[in-house]
Structure 1
Amino acid sequence: MTVSESTLRNFTENVFLAMGCSKEHATLAADVLLLSDLRGIDSHGVARLTGYVRLWQKQRINATPNIQIVHETPSTATIDGDAGLGLVVAPFAMKVAIEKAKQYGSGWISIRNSNHFGIAGYHALMAVQQDMIGFAMTNASPLVAPTFSNERMLGTNPMCYAFPAGKYPPVIVDMATSAAANGKLEIAQRAGKPVPEGWIQDSAGNYTTDPHALKSGGSLLPLGSDRDHGSHKGFGLSATVDILSAVLSGANYGPWVPPFVSFLEPPVNPVGAGIGHFLGAMRVDGFRPVDEFKAHMDNWVTRFKNASAIHPDQRVIIPGEPEFEAEQYRRQNGIPIVDAVVKDLNEIAEKLHIKPL
């Protein structure tokens, strides 16, 4: 099914309104999810909407949060999200980071007591729109085993770095620190297809291509898959996200991070509040004139796009380029949604008494 941006946006806003969100928060939350679908990151768009609803029904998401700064210096702050939607809490925090950066050159915000915040790229791009370099990362419920382990200890823990350019779109490095995002498994499950070897291991620590292996005690692998291929680096990156997002803010970390799915209860012995994020904004003109930087970013992009290709039909792809191209296409031609997601969304619509897709 292909749905226009406006139709999907209205539907998503209505879901959040039915949850009790304010119009402002419903519009913002829908905007975060829609950007994910527009940019081709289908695993983090409206496919996640039913998850937010079910957590709200379990009273694990607060639809009307009192988001507050609880600790602050001129260039840093810690924010308590009051168990609100991460889709709302993270943009609030990035606005604080941007205002601090305007005054002091950079702003750094650690967040606790939040929930899943959508794609990290949305929040980092908020800084890019102000001619700043944006940073966004979040910890997540434990699905990933550290190197040499078969115990789930870390989330997919994505991190994003976004850089403004001139004639080119922003360069956006937005990635999970696991071998694959959990959403990729969900896509494979819906399609009934195996996943590549190296993404996931079974409960005994053996490679498997079964996308359902997590349900029987398996775990995702860190970026690099195994020690011989650099999984210790993925483990290290994931640990960095966990520490900055949660140990620093007072959120839950490691195996104590609450699950995103409603049928699993949070750990009974939490070490913090909710999940955590870490966001930052850094003024380009704190280092050199913005126009100079953008001109050199364009030169950087041009040179890398023209790097010698191994195969003539496979060009070098700049980070963020496929997502930018997807966004241009989908804004004009609509957003494809698989049948299983449409079914889930319409079931939620019926329960919330709103118009289905």
Structure 2
Amino acid sequence: MLIKEASLRTFTEQIFLKIGCSKQHAKLAADILLKSDLRGIDSHGVARLSGYVRLWEKKRINPTPNIQIVHETPTTATVDGDAGLGLVVAPFAMQVAIEKAEKYGSGWVSVRNSNHFGIAGYHALMAVEKDMIGFAMTNASPLVAPTFSNERMLGTNPMCYAFPAGKYPPLIVDMATSAAANGKLEIAQRAGKSVPEGWIQDENGDFTTDPHALKSGGSLLPLGSDREHGSHKGFGLSATVDILSAVLSGANYGPWVPPFVAYLDPAPNPVGTGIGHFLGAMRIDGFRPVNDFKHHLDNWIKRFKSANPIHPNQKVIIPGEPELEAERDRKVNGIPLVDAVAQDLNELAEKLGVEKLNEN
């Protein structure tokens, strides 16, 4: 099914309104999910919508949170999200970071008591709009085994760095610290496809290409897949995200992070509240004039884009470039939804009394 952006945006806003979100929060939450779908990151777009609703039904998401700063210094803060949508909590925290950066050069905010915040790139780009460098990361429910283990201890724990350029679009490094994001497994499951070797292991710690392996005790692998291919580096990056997002803020970390799926109960004896995020903004003019930086980042991008390719038909790709191309295409031609996602959304619409999606 191919859906125009405006139709899918209206549909998504209506769903968030139905679970009790304010118009402002429903619009913001929908904007983040649509940004993901437009940029081709289908695993974090409207395919996640029913998951948020199920968590709300289980009273694990508060649609009207009282988001507060609970600790701060001139350049740092800790935010309590009051169990709100991470799609709402994280932008609040990033705005705090930006305001601190405007006054003092940089701002750093750790968040607790939140939920899944969508794509990290959305939040990091908020800083780019202010001619700042943006940072965004979050921990997530444990699906990833550390190197040499078959026990789920960490989430996919994405991190994003975003830099403003001049004549080129912003350079965005947005990635999971696991070999693959869990959402990609979900897409493969819905499409009835296998996944590449090195993404997941079975309950015995052996590679498998079955996207359903997590349901039978398997686990995702860190970035690098195994020790021989550098999984200890992915493990280290994921650990860094977990510590900055949760150990620093008072959120749950490691195996205690609550699951995104509503049918799984949170781990007993939690060590914190909710899941955690870490967001930052840094003024470029604290280091050199903004235009100088942008000029040289443009030069960096131009030079890397012109790097000698191994194959003439496969040029070097700059971080964020594929997503930008997808966004340009999908804004014109519409957003593709696999049949399973479209069916899931229409079942959600029927349950909540929202007009169903129609191909357009």
Find the aligned partners of 1:346 and 1:162 in 2 and give their Cα distance.
35
Structure-1 residue corresponding to 2:73: 73
Structure-1 residue corresponding to 2:330: 330
| 3-state DSSP of counterpart to 1:310 | coil
Structure-1 residue corresponding to 2:36: 36
Q: How many corresponding residue pairs? A: 357
What's the CA shift for 1:329? 1.1
Structure-2 residue corresponding to 1:217: 217
What's the CA shift for 1:168? 0.5
| 3-state DSSP of counterpart to 1:140 | coil
Q: Which amino acid aligns with 2:281?
A: A
| 3-state DSSP of counterpart to 2:239 | helix
Structure-2 residue corresponding to 1:153: 153
Deviations 1:59-113 (A, max 9, x none): 0000000000000000000000000000000000000000000000000000000
Structure-2 residue corresponding to 1:186: 186
The within-5 A match list for 1:1-357 is 1-357=1-357
TM-score normalized by structure 2? 0.99
What's the CA shift for 1:191? 1.2
Which 5+ residue runs of structure 1 have no aligned equivalent? none
Find the aligned partners of 2:271 and 2:124 in 1 and give their Cα distance.
28
| 3-state DSSP of counterpart to 1:40 | coil
| 3-state DSSP of counterpart to 1:77 | strand
| 3-state DSSP of counterpart to 1:78 | strand
TM-score normalized by structure 1? 1.00
Find the aligned partners of 1:21 and 1:233 in 2 and give their Cα distance.
40
Find the aligned partners of 1:47 and 1:325 in 2 and give their Cα distance.
21
Find the aligned partners of 2:196 and 2:6 in 1 and give their Cα distance.
35
Find the aligned partners of 2:183 and 2:114 in 1 and give their Cα distance.
20
Deviations 1:31-67 (A, max 9, x none): 0000000000000000000000000000000000000
What's the CA shift for 1:224? 0.4
What's the CA shift for 1:187? 1.0
Find the aligned partners of 1:21 and 1:193 in 2 and give their Cα distance.
36
Find the aligned partners of 2:240 and 2:268 in 1 and give their Cα distance.
25
Find the aligned partners of 2:125 and 2:87 in 1 and give their Cα distance.
14
What's the CA shift for 1:354? 1.0
Which 5+ residue runs of structure 2 have no aligned equivalent? none
Find the aligned partners of 1:97 and 1:330 in 2 and give their Cα distance.
31
RMSD of aligned alpha carbons? 0.4
Q: Which amino acid aligns with 1:288?
A: R
| 3-state DSSP of counterpart to 1:155 | coil
What's the CA shift for 1:272? 0.1
Find the aligned partners of 1:192 and 1:350 in 2 and give their Cα distance.
25
What's the CA shift for 1:355? 0.8
Deviations 1:282-320 (A, max 9, x none): 001110000000000000000000000000000000000
Find the aligned partners of 2:325 and 2:224 in 1 and give their Cα distance.
27
| 3-state DSSP of counterpart to 2:133 | strand
What's the CA shift for 1:205? 0.4
Q: Which amino acid aligns with 1:156?
A: T
Find the aligned partners of 1:5 and 1:346 in 2 and give their Cα distance.
16
Identity of aligned residues (%): 82
